[in-house]
Structure 1
Amino acid sequence: MLTALLFDLDGTLTDTDTLHLQAFRQLLHEHDGRELSQAQFDAQVSGRANGELFAELFAGASAEQCRALAERKEALFRDLAPSLEPMPGLLRLLEHARSQALGLCVVTNAPRLNAEHMLSAMGLGRHFEHVLVAEELARPKPDPLPYLTGLQRLGAEAGQALAFEDSLPGVAAASGAGIFTVGVATTQTPARLLAAGAGLVIDDFNAPALWALIKAMQ
């Protein structure tokens, strides 16, 4: 029986990758005049936690410098996102979850400040019992730990849950935790999401296949 829904945030609850790409481009231009293509962003940046990512992007920089650069990039992103639109069908799904008393959790590689900002910008903060962020856990996605922690917080078994993810590290993390993972095709192709471990791929939360799956699990 379905008891819990676990959601990634960026690209899943709201389509933010264009804004993150803009913030990264501005940061790299400010720092050393570098360019960042959409293809590079999709392949190397999207969905990754800042610790490993910034050490890779700014090889030779100290850990303190990488933290400062990450904070600058996230501040740029928040400035670009004063308000955000929930993905189509999300409010419908959250209302269904409320009516069925399903546990709800956000599991994100985004920093805490970003997660709180995005949920507030969508008016969704009150919907989620737990918001788990990578910087407060021992290991980020693609490790399964964030999703295993989410299940633990909700008191749910993996077989009683659905996870929603748009990135390849996120799909790997959720499916690695044993959760049936629904890929949201905002930032990756359906083929890549399926190859990463998604059991179903949807364009948004209105997809009939998603609602058929939910009905089958209840």
Structure 2
Amino acid sequence: MTLQAVLFDLNGTIANTDGLHQPIVEQLLLAQNLRLEAGEYRALCPDRSDRACLSALLARRGRSTTADGLDGLLAAKSAALDEALRQQPAPALYPDVAALLARLDAAGLAVGVVAGMALRDAQQVLAHAGLSQAFAAIASAEEAGDPYTLALARLSERSAGSSHLIPSRCLAIEATEIGIAAAHRAGLPVAAVTHRHPLHMLQRQADWAIDRLGELELERLQQAFAQARAGEC
């Protein structure tokens, strides 16, 4: 087996959590006497980490902030997310998530998550969605270092038989151009799913593009990885 592991983006690929995050960001801005404009969150935030989202929104308004100031905003956002998760239903999973996870498990592949939100927030979202045990490792863009590299290192530590994970033999599943570029920088080929952007846009960036997660054909992927591996020898 040449495909070693699969890493999912969290928001946009596994679950749509924008409905949780946007009201919280709006309240954080109001606390700064700032207003979130119509369409602004969708334009600036879904493809970015929480830190990058808040930085961009503040910069648009000519507001500068220190690293400590941003840390304070992120801590407030995390606390608000905890409260929102207690009061609301679980975030809506995209179609075929559970079925694909079952197929990956049956194939013996290590599976992890990369998230743009803080690590604790990602863990909370997965727990609320009933997926805490589905992933052997989680990494966040808010941590020091590349999140894909961190996720692969954690998978190597925690997954039996995954001690020599090679980025080019692992697959990232992403839903945005920013996410695709991040995975490619870390050396992972990417399958992109059209949860956020149309197929023709993703096809220009990703190695594979699919309309829904259920269309991911593991046998064909294994063949493609095997052929790529043979070409390296």
What band does the TM-score fall into relative to the shorter chain?
0.7 to 0.9
Identity of aligned residues (%): 28
Instruction: Name the CA distance, whole Å, in 1 between partners of 2:196 and 2:81.
Output: 17
Instruction: Name the CA distance, whole Å, in 1 between partners of 2:67 and 2:184.
Output: 31
1:117 equivalenced with 2:124 (yes/no): yes
Instruction: Name the CA distance, whole Å, in 1 between partners of 2:52 and 2:138.
Output: 21
Letter of the 2:107 counterpart: Q
Contact 2:44 2:57 in 1 (8 A): no
Instruction: Name the CA distance, whole Å, in 1 between partners of 2:44 and 2:8.
Output: 22
Contact 2:199 2:209 in 1 (8 A): yes
Measured after TM superposition, the shift of residue 90 of structure 1 is 1.0
Q: Deviations over 1:46-99 (max 9, x none)?
A: 232233443343322333222222222333334333422332111111111111
1:198 equivalenced with 2:206 (yes/no): yes
Task: Tell me which structure has the larger Cα radius of gyration.
Answer: 2
Question: Superposition pairs for residues 50-69 of structure 1, below 5 Å?
Answer: 50-58=50-58, 59-69=63-73
1:156 equivalenced with 2:165 (yes/no): yes
Seen in structure 2, the aligned counterparts of structure 1 residues 5 and 18 have a Cα distance that, compared at 3 Å, is same
Contact 2:17 2:92 in 1 (8 A): no
Instruction: Name the CA distance, whole Å, in 2 between partners of 1:35 and 1:151.
Output: 36
1:99 equivalenced with 2:103 (yes/no): no
Look up the SS of the partner of 1:119 in the other structure: helix
Instruction: Name the CA distance, whole Å, in 1 between partners of 2:187 and 2:66.
Output: 36
Unaligned runs of 5+ in 1: 139-144
Instruction: Name the CA distance, whole Å, in 1 between partners of 2:74 and 2:66.
Output: 12
Letter of the 1:206 counterpart: G
Look up the SS of the partner of 1:136 in the other structure: coil
Instruction: Name the CA distance, whole Å, in 2 between partners of 1:5 and 1:52.
Output: 25
Instruction: Name the CA distance, whole Å, in 2 between partners of 1:72 and 1:167.
Output: 26
TM-score (norm 2): 0.77
Root-mean-square deviation (CA, aligned residues, Å) is: 2.2
TM-score (norm 1): 0.82
Unaligned runs of 5+ in 2: 157-163, 223-233
Measured after TM superposition, the shift of residue 160 of structure 1 is 2.1
Contact 1:23 1:74 in 2 (8 A): no
Question: 4+ residue runs of structure 1 moved beyond 4 angstroms?
Answer: none
Seen in structure 2, the aligned counterparts of structure 1 residues 12 and 41 have a Cα distance that, compared at 3 Å, is same
Letter of the 1:204 counterpart: R
Measured after TM superposition, the shift of residue 165 of structure 1 is 1.3
Look up the SS of the partner of 1:172 in the other structure: helix
Measured after TM superposition, the shift of residue 216 of structure 1 is 1.2
Measured after TM superposition, the shift of residue 188 of structure 1 is 3.1
In the other structure, the counterpart of 1:31 is 32
Instruction: Name the CA distance, whole Å, in 2 between partners of 1:190 and 1:151.
Output: 27
